Amino acid sequence: MTLREPPKRREASRIAGRFIGLLVLLAVFSLVVWTAATIQQARAVERSDPAVVAPGEFAAVAGGSIHYRKFGEGGPVVVLVHPDTVAGGAVLVSLAQQLGDDHLVLVPDLFGFGFSSRPVTPGRLQSTTGQAETLAAFIDEQGVTGVHLVGFGWGGEVATEMAVIRPELVQRLTLVDTPDLPMPGRDDHRWQSLPLGVGEAFAYTFDGAGPRSEARFLALCPSWGTCDEKEFRDAATVPQTSRSIWARRASSPAMVATSRLDSMSAPVTVVAVDVGLVAAQDLASRFPAGEAIRADAAELAVVLSGDQQ
């Protein structure tokens, strides 16, 4: 005697399978339509000419051009490296102006940020090492050495990488609100790295010129930052911004510095403003001459100026 599945149960399974398959097809179709529409919108919005709207100067380096702002004259040279926001160095303007009273302060926009070039292909140029090499090339172009290099958030990752691969350029390294190396990425960064235009669409939505992005920029802007909506909007509408964000997310996050921190001879200060002091202390302990301090946003300029002495 053979036991068979009742006909009604088999029929119910087939109907459930077809329903699930239909839902998957609808989800894929919706994603394709949303991606195409979002990219089309990005192309229509990203039309600002950096040469017209940029407030600073440009320096030619391998791979493109770097937009930068200069504050103060003479004295020790301080280079501020911005966090991971499309506004780039704009978030550091107020701080740079305060430091400019006693120092020459340079605030470059790294590739893909602010008004600098927008690489659109994943690879070395968009990696942490590539960004550090570009930063070093910019400093070389300025004809300065022995700078006080200050990295903020993700910018601390790039600054540390540069200090390791080009130690002769750095007299002192300060990391502000950089909780770890490499920096942990946000959850949406994985979506922004997806291929076939999907990542580009997510980049436009969350970090580019999409309607939600400006509000997100203001919500995530740190306490020490200059949160200027117009500067963000101008930078976000530079052509190929969304695709450049995608290319960066799709590039390798690997760093040379993480295995060579104990070789650094320059003094390192890890400053905790919006992040926890314990995380700052843990990071500082990885450097031979590292220290961690707590500072308020209002006193950060004084702290950085003091580090330079």
Q: Which string of DSSP letters, residue by residue, matches 47-71?
A: ---HHHH-SSEEEEETTEEEEEEEE
In which residue are the tokens 């329903």 written? 19
Report d(CA 155, CA 108) in Å as an integer: 11
The residue type at 101? D
3-state helix, strand, coil in the chain (%, to 5): 50, 15, 35
Cβ atoms 204, 39 nearer than 8 A: yes
How many Å apart are CA 204 and CA 220, to the nearest integer?
16
Give the angle 209-211-212 at the CA atoms, nearest 5°: 100
Which residue ranges of the chain lie beneath pLDDT 50? Answer: 308-309
290 by DSSP, 3-state: which?
strand
Q: Determine the pLDDT at residue 57.
A: 98
* pTM score of the predicted model: 0.93
* Beta strands per DSSP E along the chain: 57-61, 64-71, 77-81, 104-108, 147-152, 170-176, 268-272, 290-294
Give the chain's domains with CATH numbers: 52-183+252-308 (3.40.50.1820)
At 309 the pLDDT is 44
User: Cα–Cα distance between 293 and 15 in angstroms, integer?
Assistant: 63
With vertex at residue 251, the alpha carbon angle to CA 59 and CA 173, rounded to the nearest 5 degrees, is 55
